[in-house]
Amino acid sequence: MAKLLSVQNVSKIFGNEGLRKKDVTVAVDDVTFSIADDRPTITAIAGESGSGKTTLALLLMGQIPPNSGTVSYRGKDLAHMTRDEKTILTRELQPIYQDPYAAYNPFYRVDHVLQMPIKRFGLAKTKEESRLLIEDAMEKVGLRPAETLGRYPHQLSGGQKQRLMVARALLCQPKVVMADEPVSMVDASLRATILSSLRKLNQDFGISILYITHDLTTAYQICENILIMYAGSVVEAGSVDQVIRNPKHPYTQLLVSSIPLPDKNKRWGGVEFEEIQLRKSSGCKFAPRCPAAMHECWSQRPAFYLPDEGRTVACFLYKDQPTLDSSDVSQIFPT
């Protein structure tokens, strides 16, 4: 598989490594995966707060350097890119952040956020060309230019602001859009519109989407593949259908069981885990929370096992199954 964007054995540690261990947080721990160059995909990176998913997104965008391992774009290590290569990377990897309000300066009309990338990347030669590009991008995400341009941020709804962010990403003709919790701050009624804008970027414009989320429901709605992260490590990866419909890792089972159910007689989170034990594990990080923890779990790290086709799980419960032949979990994604 030709790789567009990849991380190879990447780790990120916050805090001073020279300090005592308790002052150090391993936010991302030896993660390897990639997204394909030859086919646009939508991949979710999911986990609860503190799982390392947003740090992994920042590493992939080149916004923070790893402590070890490499992040590559089109086979080139980000750490060794020239200035011109970094400019191309910045244009081709576009972020859409969680907070649509933070991206706007209240003193500028919203047109400003669309004009900036045009100027920065030299996307238009004339004002007229710039206007046409902006209007075209807005219409592609379902916004009417006449009703939106010329307004100040406070005059637009949260959903309009977030869709403008999608239009801004589209203007840059990106290869990858990194969407970090893009619907967590908009109303439920607008969620579907924004998710369908992301799907449109993928299907109509051939853009790969990395969808960073704690919400398995929206991941299930739009993604094809999913990586589940826990404490900085990938614990399960595969097709979203397999992983969410039939989770194998005890942590994924916990996440899936916590999805709110539309049944007023049923409690949220049908399965509850035993009280968290305080015992530290030098093996599987989930052992202190895991009801299935075995003796070996406390001292050894599980490999990536293959309990079925198109999915891998880092858990000793599947130790009788074959293992992945490398730590690259994306090798099991459909090609």
Binding site for ligand SF4 (CB under 6 A): 249-250, 284, 286-287, 290, 292-294, 297, 302, 315-317
Helix (H, G, I), strand (E, B) or coil at 161: helix
> Rounded to whole angstroms, how far apart are CA atoms 298 and 288?
9
Distance of CA 130 to the CA centre of its chain: 30
Distance between CA atoms of residues 234 and 53, nearest Å: 10
CB of 235 to ligand SF4, least distance (A): 7
Task: Using the minimum distance from each CB to ligand SF4, give the nearer residue, 210 or 293.
Answer: 293
Give min distance, CB of 4 to ligand SF4, in A: 31
Q: How far is the CB of 313 from ligand SF4 (least distance, A)?
A: 8
CB of 228 to ligand SF4, least distance (A): 11
CB of 255 to ligand SF4, least distance (A): 13
Question: Between 6 and 233, whose beta carbon lies closer to ligand SF4?
Answer: 233
Please list, in sequence order, all residues whose beta carbon lies within 8 angstroms of the beta carbon of residue 239, skipping any fewer than 6 positions away.
224, 225, 226, 310, 311, 333, 334
Q: Which is nearer to ligand SF4, 60 or 284 (CB)?
A: 284
Query: Closer to ligand SF4 at the Cβ: 151 or 319?
Result: 319
Q: How far apart are CA 33 and CA 123, in angstroms?
A: 32
Q: Which residues pair with 31 in a beta bridge?
A: 10
Cβ closest to ligand SF4, residue 62 vs residue 288: 288
At what angle are helices 111-120 and 127-140 packed, to 10 degrees? 120
Closer of 104 and 318 to ligand SF4 (Cβ): 318
Minimum Å distance from CB 318 to ligand SF4?
A: 8
CB 96 within 8 A of CB 210: no
Which are the contacts of 176, defined by CB distance < 8 A and separation ≥ 6?
4, 5, 35, 92, 93, 94, 207, 208, 209, 210
